[in-house]
Amino acid sequence: MSIDKDTVKHISKLARISLDDEKTDSLSKNLSSIIAFIEKLNELNTDKIIPLTSIINTSLTTRKDIVKNEKIRDQILKNSPEKNDEFFVVPKVIE
């Protein structure tokens, strides 16, 4: 199946990546060749196969649910491109 330009626009919207026309065009070609490559899997009948969900045999471990207050707000905010004393800052969402 080929990935036309409208499909590229649709998935780039879902992935929140803006693309200009030139990029959309080249990606349409690239992605189509990748999809054609992965469609080789259709040769295989997998009707009776259970999909693999984990390659580790043991079940995931759990830990005690303990509240930790390490007061690391400054560390969390440190790398933010825009912040004030307490919060991440984003463009206005609510009028």
Partner 1 sequence: MKDLSKNTLCRLISGIKKKDFSSEEITKSFINNSQKAKKLNTFITTNFDKALEDAKNFDKKKNFEGLLSGIPIAVKDLFCTKDVKTTAGSKMLSNFVPTYESTVTSNLWKEGAFLLGKLNCDEFAMGSSNETSFFGNVYNPYGDNLIPGGSSGGSASALAASLTPATIGTDTGGSIRQPASFTGTVGLKPTYGRCSRWGIVAFASSLDQAGPMTQNVEDCALLLEAMSGYDPKDSTSAKIKVDHYSKNLNEKIKGLKVGIPKEYRVDNMPDEIDALWKRGVEFLKDAGAIIKDITLPHTKYALPSYYIVAPAEASSNLARYDGVKYGHRSKGNNLIEMYENTRSEGFGDEVKRRILIGTYVLSSGYYDAYYIKAQKVRQLIKNDFDEAFKNVDAVLTPSTPSAAFKAGDKKDDPISMYLNDVFTVPVNLAGLPAISVPAGYDKNKLPLGLQLIGKAFDEQTILNLSLAIEKRAGFKKEINNWWKS
Among 57, 60, 41, smallest CA distance to 49 is for 41
To partner 1, the closest distance from the beta carbon of 91 in angstroms equals: 5
Q: Which amino acid is at 11?
A: I
Examine residue 85 and tell whether it contacts partner 1 (CB under 8 A).
no
Q: Is 81 in the site for partner 1 (CB under 8 A)?
A: yes
At 51, which amino acid appears?
P
- CA–CA dist 21, 7 (Å, integer): 13
Count of residues that interact with partner 1, criterion CB under 8 A: 50
Signed CA dihedral, 34, 38, 39, 40: sign only: positive
Q: Name the minimum Å distance from CB 33 to partner 1.
A: 6
Q: By CB under 8 A, tell whether 66 contacts partner 1.
A: no
Question: In whole angstroms, what is the distance from residue 44 CA to residue 71 CA?
Answer: 53
Question: Is residue 56 at the binding interface for partner 1, with CB under 8 A as the rule?
Answer: yes
- Binding interface with partner 1 (CB under 8 A): 3, 7-8, 11-12, 14-19, 27, 30-31, 33-35, 37-42, 44, 46, 49-56, 58, 60-61, 63, 72, 75-76, 78-82, 88, 90-93
